[in-house]
Structure 1
Amino acid sequence: MCGITGYKNFSNRDDLAQSLKNATKSLVKRGPDNNATFSQKSVGLGHTRLSILDTSSKANQPMTDKSGRYTLVFNGEIYNYRELAETLAVELVTTSDTEVLLYLLIQDGEACLKNLNGFFAFAFYDSEEETILIARDRMGIKPLNYYHHDDFFVFGSEMKALFNYPISKEIDPHALYWYLRLTYLPDDLSMISGVKKLLPGHFMRVSNTGVDVQHYWHIEDPILFNGNYDDAKSQTVKLLEQSVERRMISDVPLGSFLSGGTDSSAVVSMASKFDSNLHTFSIGYKDHSFFDETNYAELVAKTFNTNHTTFSLTNDDLLNCLESVLAYIDEPFADSSAIPTYILSSHVSKHIKVALSGDGADELFGGYYKHLAFQRSSEKTIANHLIRLSAPMLKHLPTSRSSKAGNLIRRLAKFADIMEMKPFEKYWHLASFNLKADHYLLNPPEKNTIESFKLKFESPDEKFELNDFLDIDLQMVLPGDMLTKVDLMSMANSLEVRVPFLDKEMVNFARSLPPHYKIDKNKRKTVLQDAFEHILPKELHHRSKKGFEVPMLSWMRNELNASLNEVLFDEEYLEEQQIFNTSQVMKLKKKLFSQNPEDVHTTIWSLYVFQKWYKNHLE
């Protein structure tokens, strides 16, 4: 796990070499063990290293081959590198996957991408052709940002690297709209105009003639699973075991996150087979007992005899790390679960350098309430009929994520809304946190621009079902939100996180399963839960998913109120800034302290995070 950056000079600019050094230093938390740069002709490459495989200096990067022609900077891990090494006709001098990847690229070029099992973002330079081949893994586990100007091309693992190059820093209004609507930036959108994200499963070739982007893998119709339900359960366990085994390779201490939910518990059950002294970690919440699942985590740890550590947090612990989280975020990101993820990573990194996690299972197997809502919304049941009839009343009841009753009313109201919608529109309604994002913008994007973006994800088939819904999550929510959160918050603490559920074999298998294997009546992730029913403690089976809700509404009314008034609710500053609709933003302040705040804190948090980012990076 590392940080990479670099440039291609199309003119005779003399400022890019120094920019490269600064950009590389900005990524030091991604790789504190070593950092170095490489410059030759029109190209510069930078790398910061978190040593995981072959920790010797021989495996440092940028890594150049024996001929001196080719150089590689690489972020990630290739789990099948030993098997791939056997296809090479060269004597290797390290035991690293970096060297194997270098010579695979020399031997096969981009054709080798389809054979890689792992997560990665890399840049491969051919000095004779003066080209850079840049690629990103299939699921977008590792990030890659780039900016193409007439004079130069630059790239980096994080936006903070790009800020060190002479790029223009103008807000993209279309990206801002989707950020406010979703709380994260989807697809290839970036908050800075001209900056793009290389999409998962894509590669690009940068040469003197320009930039060419292509895909080597993309979402397409899978080969349908031809077994029965019991076969699917057996295959789920088998594939996860194989995936976890691949991800146990490490020359440094390795462990696993353990929340006590099915996903991380399943990972731990498999990992314990390969490490009799597996270290596991969970966080508990002293001030929020409803969300504290450490008793389940400790039960799993006891069952599989892991070396378990629980970090018990208070409300003050969450608040105290807030500035550190916002300081590291170099592009607006308003998923508040980043806060506990940061704290967990901070604690865990003091014990190990590599952690396994259960991320990705929800998007593959249908683990969210929105998946259940979508699946049930078209059913002709008495319950649905009653909800439809009560829709007008639900709109007038107080709703909030911050209380059990308010959250139930919120879900029912949203469910009632989607009943009359076409299936594809249901997705955007359920995926959105703020359906009126345009109200808060001074110059919102045109409606046809918004609709054109949505149509990028529409299934070519007229029938839009649960698997189509999950496919959009794989393309949008997973890389834009979940994986971005884990990458940013773990890398801020120099910790590598591996995600076994996103092994390419597991992804292909999960996508091949019929919808009713994933959601059955009120049960989500059905096949996954049933597959591990007799492996995990019985107390975990069929229990409700809690997750963790940061007490944002309470914070905004109390501890964060002064900061909100300074950073967001300053009418004079908003008018000078000329980005937001001042009157609409100020209405949020009144709503915050009303009897029925609804989900106002979600919108306020998105705006607050943006303003903090704006002040940190653009002013």
Structure 2
Amino acid sequence: MCGISGIYAFNDAGRHFIGNLKASTDAIEKRGPDSQGHFVSSCVGLGHRRLSIIDTTEGGAQPMHDETGRYTIVFNGEIFNYRELKAKLAAKGHTFQSQSDTEVLLKMYITEGKSFLKKLNGFFAFAIYDKQDDSLFVARDRMGIKPLLVYKDADKFIFASEMKAMMAFNIPKKLDLTSLYNYLQLNYIPGPASIFKGVKKLRPGYYLHIRNGKVMTKAWYKIPYDKKKTKNNPLNYDQQQKELVRLMDQSVERRMIADVPLGAFLSGGIDSSVIVALASKYTNKLNTFSIGYKDEPFFDETKYANLVAEKYKTNHTVFSLTNNDLYDHIFDVLEYTDEPFADSSALAVYILSKRTREKVTVALSGDGADELFAGYNKHMGDYRVRHAGWKEEAVLALSPLWDVLPKSRNSAMGNRVRQFQRFSKGMMLSNKERYWQLATFTNEKDARKLFKKQIARVIGKKLFQKRKKKILENIHQDGDINEVLYTDMQLVLQNDMLTKVDLMSMANSLEVRTPFLDYKVVNFAFSLPESSKIDGGMKKKIVQDAFRHLLPEELYKRPKHGFEVPLLKWFRNELKPLITDDLLSDQFIEAQGLFEVEEIRKLKTKLFSSNPEDIHARIWGLIVFQYWWKKWMA
């Protein structure tokens, strides 16, 4: 697990920027604190920051060259089946100078070309330079677990793991207003776009090849989803459960490879508990880590995490946090964020990663299961709309009541009213528009109103609708929940969940591995019918049923509580000066020239009223953007 950056110059003007390579790798030091390396030729510069996981000796250092000196690689990630691939190469007469997966990756490319990608099991972003061909090959893993940004103009091509490394090359920092418009709705920016015009995110499962001044981009993997095949899966439900257990067991075993201390996150939920149960088979004393919330007992699930830890005799550590502990790290998160990203749960992930890194260098995580197997409340809501009965019709009939009653996430009754209102509105929408409603915090009209009128006119409605249409292209009116999950994999998982985990773990030099996102598990998940994943009474059905024999029964007798960072409390107290006197002040907004002062005032009035509803999520999105603007743009 590392950080990479690089440049390929098309001409003399482009070569001038190779001198920025070290500044680029310096910018991502936290991704690789153990060492750094650089390779420079006449038209190429490759940089690497190393977090040593496999082969921690100098033999695994990068950039790495083959024995002839023709090929050079920089690589971020892990190849979990590298030993198997290495054995096959050795049987054909290849020799190796290190014990690293990087050398295996390089030799696979040398011997098999682009087709070798399909043989890799792992997560990665890498670049390989061929000195003889003067070509550059860049690729990203199937699910987008490892990030890769790219930029191209007439003089040069640049790539990097993070935006701060891109900015070190002095790329044009011109706001993509359509991306900002998207951000104000979602609280993150969906790829392949970024906050800057010209900077793109290489799509997951894609590679890019530069040769003779031409850049070719091509998909090498797509999730094999076919609606007809899911409905005709040859396995019965019992067989499906056994196959899922087998695939997950193999996935976890692969991810236990490390030459440094390894552990697992253990939240007390089903997903992380499954990972711990399986991982405990492959180590004597697994290190496990949980967060507890002293000031928010409603969200504290350490009781359930402790049950799993006791069952599997893990070396368990609970980090018990107060709201002050959370608040103390807000500015650490804001400082590290180099593209606007406002999922507030990133704060808890940051602290968990920081504390976990004090004990281990690698942690297993249950991420991905909700998107694969329908684990979110929104999935149950969508399912019930599609299979509506008298209860759902009653909620719809009472829509006028939900509109006038107080709504807030901070009380049980207010939250229920909020959910009923959201559900009833969703019942009146098409499948595509309901998905968009459930994915966003702010509707299109309200997000557009935030901009100054002259800015709003510049935001291309056609470009926004084109991007939105692409995101929703796999949802049809006659479809089922699998289409929703497939879209979640492209939108929510890639751009929110995986971005959050990568950013917050790398900010603390911690590698996080996600067994549910092994491509064999993903391929299997999208061969299953809707009925195996969700019904009227159970979300994530096959995961709960398949692993029931491994988990404490108490885990099945509790409601699922996603943690809510206490933003509203902070906005009305500790963070109030940041809102009223700094980032959202009339003076700052006016000087910035992007947003309407009066519209921002309305949001602040709502925030400090007795009925704030969900306004805190919108305010947090604005604060994150304003902080980013002040640091990187002002």
> Same fold by TM (over 0.5)?
yes
Q: Which residue of 2 aligns with 1:329?
A: 337
* 2:322 alignment counterpart: 314
**Please, which of 147, 153, 170 is the counterpart of residue 166 of structure 1?**
170
Alignment partners' CA distance in 2, 1:328 and 1:372: 35
Indicate if the aligned counterparts of 2:48 and 2:62 stay in contact, CA closer than 8 A. yes
Q: Which residue of 1 aligns with 2:596?
A: 581
Runs (5+) with no aligned partner, structure 2: none
Equivalent residue, structure 1, for 2:461? 447
Matched to 2:449, the amino acid is H
The 3-state SS of whatever aligns with 2:45 is: strand
Q: Distance in 2 between matches of 1:430 and 1:616?
A: 31
User: Larger helix proportion, structure 1 or 2?
Assistant: 2
Residue 379 of structure 2: aligned partner: 371
- State whether structure 2 residue 566 is matched by structure 1 residue 551: yes
| Structure 1 contact 52–250 (Cα < 8 Å) conserved | yes
Secondary structure of the corresponding residue to residue 312 of structure 1: strand
Give me the whole-angstrom Cα distance separating, in 1, the residues matched to 2:386 and 2:404: 24
Deviation at 1:18, TM superposition (A): 2.4
Partner of 2:626: 611
Of 394, 397, 417, the residue aligned with 1:386 is 394
Q: 1:5-44 alignment to 2 at 5 Å?
A: 5-13=5-13, 14-44=15-45
Report the alpha carbon displacement of residue 27 of structure 1 after superposing the two structures with TM: 1.1
SS in 1 for 2:159: strand
Distance 2:383 2:39 in 1: 52
Is residue 587 of structure 2 the alignment partner of residue 572 of structure 1?
Answer: yes
In 1, the alpha carbon distance for the partners of 2:410 and 2:476 equals 39
Once the two structures are TM-superposed, the CA of residue 108 in structure 1 deviates from its matched residue by: 1.3
- The 2-side partners of 1:390 and 1:243 are apart by 47
- Is residue 487 of structure 1 aligned with residue 488 of structure 2? no
Residue 592 (structure 1) aligned with residue 596 (structure 2): no
Structure 1 counterpart of 2:447, one-letter code: A
Match of 1:219, SS state, is coil
Residue in 2 aligned with 1:340?
348
Q: 2:548: which partner in 1?
A: 533
Q: Which amino acid aligns with 1:312?
A: S
The Cα shift of 1:356 comes to 0.1
Post-superposition CA distance 1:545-578 (Å, at most 9, x none): 1121000111101110011223332212212212
Tell me: CA distance 1:455–1:219, structure 2 relative to 1, closer, same or farther (3 Å): farther
Cα contact 1:172–1:193 (8 A) shared by 2: yes
Residue 133 of structure 2: SS of its match in structure 1?
A: coil
Compute the displacement of 1:460 (Å).
7.8
The size of the alignment, in residue pairs, is: 619
What CA deviation, in whole Å up to 9, does each residue of 1:167-217 have, x standing for no partner? Answer: 100110110011111111112110011100001000001234232111001
Matched, 1:437 2:447: yes
Q: Distance in 1 between matches of 2:492 and 2:562?
A: 17
CA distance in 2, matches of 1:543, 1:437: 37
Output the amino acid matched with 1:362. D
Structure 1 CA distance for aligned equivalents of residues 392 and 410 of structure 2? 25
Tell me, yes or no, if the aligned pair for 2:47 and 2:74 is still in contact at 8 Å.
yes
Q: In structure 2, what is the Cα distance between the partners aligned to 1:586 and 1:331?
A: 25
Task: Note the C-alpha offset of 1:229.
Answer: 1.1
Match of 2:524 among 509, 532, 543: 509
Specify which of 111, 123, 129 is matched with residue 127 of structure 2: 123
Residue of structure 2 equivalent to 1:53: 54
Is the aligned partner of 1:83 residue 2:80? Answer: no
Structure-to-structure mapping, 1:176-325, within 5 angstroms: 176-222=180-226, 223-224=229-230, 225-325=233-333
The answer for the alignment partner of 1:110 in structure 2 is 114
Write the letter of the residue equivalent to 2:256. M
For 2:107, the aligned partner's letter is Y
Query: Distance between the aligned counterparts of 1:189 and 1:319, measured in 2?
Result: 31
Question: Is the deviation greater in 393-402 or in 459-468?
Answer: 459-468
SS of structure 2 residue aligned to 1:483: helix
The CA RMSD measured in Å over matched residues stands at 1.2
Shift of 1:220: 4.1
Cα deviation digits, residues 76-109 of structure 1 (max 9, x gap): 0000111111232410111110000000011112
Which whole-Å CA distance do the structure 2 matches of 1:23 and 1:538 have between them?
50
**Separation of aligned partners in 2, 1:476 and 1:545:** 23
Distance apart, 1:451 and its partner CA: 2.1
Amino acid at match of 2:357: S
Q: Deviations over 1:410-437 (max 9, x none)?
A: 1111110111211122111111111122
Once residues 177 and 400 of structure 1 are traced to their aligned partners in structure 2, the CA distance between those partners, rounded to angstroms, is 25
Deviation by residue 1:255-297 (Cα, 9 ceiling, x = unmatched): 0000000000000000000012000000101010000000100
CA separation in 2, counterparts of 1:369 and 1:441?
Answer: 32
After TM superposition, the score normalised by the length of structure 1 is 0.98
Greater shift in the superposed pair: 185-194 or 254-263: 185-194
- Contact 1:523/1:542 (<8 A) preserved: no
* Alignment check: 8 A CA contact 1:424 1:464 kept: no
What's the counterpart of residue 456 of structure 1? 470
What secondary structure, in the 3-state scheme, does the structure 2 residue paired with 1:476 have?
A: helix
Aligned mates of 1:36, 1:110 — CA distance in 2 = 25
Q: Would the aligned equivalents of 2:224 and 2:526 in 1 still touch at CA under 8 Å?
A: no
**Cα distance between partner residues in 2 of 1:544 and 1:602:** 23
AA paired with 1:597?
Answer: P
Question: Aligned partners of 1:228, 1:220: CA distance in 2, in Å?
Answer: 20
Tell which deviates more after alignment, 45-54 or 567-576: 567-576
Contact 2:481–2:530 (CA under 8 A) maintained in structure 1: yes
1:471 and 2:486 correspond: yes
User: Residues 342-374 of structure 1, C-alpha deviation per residue, up to 9 Å, x if partnerless?
Assistant: 000000001000000000000000000111111
Specify the SS of the correspondent of 2:414. helix
SS in 1 for 2:282: coil
Aligned with 2:526: secondary structure? helix
SS in 1 for 2:386: coil
C-alpha contact 2:431 2:476 (8 A) present in aligned 1: no
- Letter matched to residue 93 of structure 1: Q
Identity across the alignment (%): 50
Bigger Cα displacement from structure 2, 306-315 vs 184-193: 184-193
Structure 1 contact 571–582 (Cα < 8 Å) conserved: yes
Structure 2 residue identity aligned to 1:470: L
1:144 corresponding residue in structure 2: 148
- Does 41-50 or 456-465 show the bigger shift? 456-465
Deviating more after overlay: 397-406 vs 524-533:
397-406
Q: Tell me, what secondary structure is at the counterpart of 2:291?
A: strand
Alignment correspondent of 2:538: 523
How far apart, in 1, do the equivalents of 2:523 and 2:503 lie? 26
Counterpart contact for 1:132–1:207, Cα < 8 Å? yes
User: Which runs of no fewer than 5 residues in structure 1 stay unpaired?
Assistant: none
Give the match's secondary structure for 2:7: strand
- Distance in 1 (CA, whole Å) between partners of 2:23 and 2:271 is 39
Q: TM-score, normalised by structure 2?
A: 0.96
1:470 deviates by: 0.4
95-104 vs 565-574, greater mean Cα deviation: 565-574
